[in-house]
């Protein structure tokens, strides 16, 4: 049976962190709040855990989950050849609703799915998520919903869709963001927004200028 912990209660949250870490080490799934929507997380370095995450969501390997981190400095440990403009964007928008796709470090021994040698990384702006990530290290995290349904904005909504698949729920109350992160593909010569989310192209271009392709640009 899954456990649910109220993050607003300091003692209960501490117990929730302990339970979540135990679940992650056992290759189980954990639901956690982020600044955008609720996420369902797994140990990014456990092939079985990531497979369990994809199965819970009804996803195939061609839709690999992003990786959440607790500090911008972790990007360099997970990705290689990170462009300078991406670091500028991370300095401005992390923690926050920006996911960047970069070439992954070839030394990493993990299997997130059919990533084609890339990794999508984000640092969420939520104190409960960051507290867990500081202790767990990078987690594979996707929105806490069944693929094709609306992302969960509360633990209750997550449980309705993922019941039976999740070991621990960290209840941070209703999420007010509701809009997923913007995903930027930075594996080419210039950054390309592949999912419009909480941050607009114009906001990204105000930091990185022409290194970000404009919305009306013909990219072939």
Spatial separation of the C-alpha atoms in residues 108 and 77, rounded to whole Å: 9
The phi, psi pair for 23, rounded to 5°, reads -65, -45
Decide if 219 is inside a domain.
no
The angle formed by the CA atoms of residues 205, 207 and 213, to the nearest 5 degrees, is 25
- What is the rounded (10 degree) CA torsion for 130, 65, 92, 153? -60
Task: Using alpha carbons, select from 34, 28, 70, 43 the residue that is nearest to residue 172.
Answer: 34
Cα 61 to Cα 106: distance, rounded to the nearest angstrom: 19
Mean per-residue pLDDT for 202-214? 96
Q: What are phi and psi of 169, to 5 degrees?
A: -115, 125
Q: What is the CATH number of the domain that holds 170?
A: 3.90.870.10
Q: Over the stretch 76-110, which tens digit does the pLDDT of each residue have?
A: 999 999 999 999 999 999 999 999 999 999 998 89
Average pLDDT over the chain, rounded to an integer: 95
218 found inside a domain: no
- pLDDT > 70 in the chain, percent: 98
SS (H, E, C) the chain: CCEEEECCCHHHHHHHHHHHHHHHHCCCCEEEECCCCEEEEEECCCHHHHHHHHHHHCCCCCCCCCEECCCHHHHHHHEECCCHHHHHHHHHHCCCCEEEEEEECCCCCCCCCCCCCEEEEECCCCHHHHHHHHHHCCEEEEECCCCCCCCCCCHHHHHHHHCCCCCEEEECCCCCCCCCCEEEECCCCCEEEEECCCCCHHHHHHHHHHHECCCCCCCC
**Is residue 217 a part of any domain in this protein?**
no
Q: What is the pLDDT of residue 206?
A: 97
Query: Does residue 219 register a pLDDT over 80?
Result: no
- For residue 220, what pLDDT is reported? 38
Is 89 a member of any domain? Answer: yes
Confidence band (pLDDT; 50, 70, 90) for 176? Answer: confident
| 18 assigned to some structural domain | yes
Domains in the chain: how many in total? 1
- Examine the pLDDT at 216 and tell me if it is beyond 80: no
**Residue 204 domain boundaries:** 3-211
Q: Round to whole Å and give the CA distance between 93 and 204.
A: 9
The predicted-structure confidence for 27-84, as pLDDT tens digits, reads as follows 999 999 999 999 999 999 999 999 999 999 999 898 899 999 999 999 999 999 999 9
| Residue 216 in domain | no
190, HSE (Cβ side, Cα atoms, 13 Å) = 14
Residue 111 inside a domain? The answer is yes
Identify whether 220 is part of a domain.
Answer: no
Structure tokens at 207: 């930091």
pLDDT confidence of residue 15: 98
Give pLDDT, residue 109: 83
CB atoms within 10 A of CB 60: 12
- Residue 31's CB is within 10 A of a number of other CB atoms, namely 26
């Amino acid at each position: 049976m899954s456990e649910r912990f109220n993050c607003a209660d300091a003692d209960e949250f501490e117990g929730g962190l302990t339970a979540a870490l135990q679940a992650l080490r056992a290759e189980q799934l954990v639901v956690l709040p982020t600044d955008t929507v609720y996420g369902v997380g797994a140990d990014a370095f456990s092939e079985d855990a990531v497979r369990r995450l994809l199965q819970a969501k009804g996803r195939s390997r061609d839709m690999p989950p992003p990786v959440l981190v607790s500090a911008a400095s972790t990007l360099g440990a997970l990705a290689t050849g990170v462009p300078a403009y991406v670091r500028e964007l991370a300095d401005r928008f992390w923690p926050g609703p920006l996911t960047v796709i970069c070439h992954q470090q070839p030394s990493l021994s993990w299997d997130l799915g059919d990533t084609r040698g890339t990794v999508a990384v984000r640092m969420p702006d939520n104190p409960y998520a960051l507290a867990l990530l500081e202790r767990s290290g990078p987690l594979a995290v996707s929105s806490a919903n069944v693929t094709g349904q609306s992302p969960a904005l509360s633990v209750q909504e997550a449980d309705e869709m993922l019941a039976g698949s999740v070991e621990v729920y960290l209840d941070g109350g209703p999420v007010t963001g509701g809009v997923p992160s913007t995903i930027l593909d930075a594996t080419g010569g210039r950054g390309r927004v592949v999912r419009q989310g909480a941050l607009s192209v114009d906001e990204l271009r105000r930091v990185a200028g022409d290194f970000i392709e404009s919305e009306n640009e013909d990219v072939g």
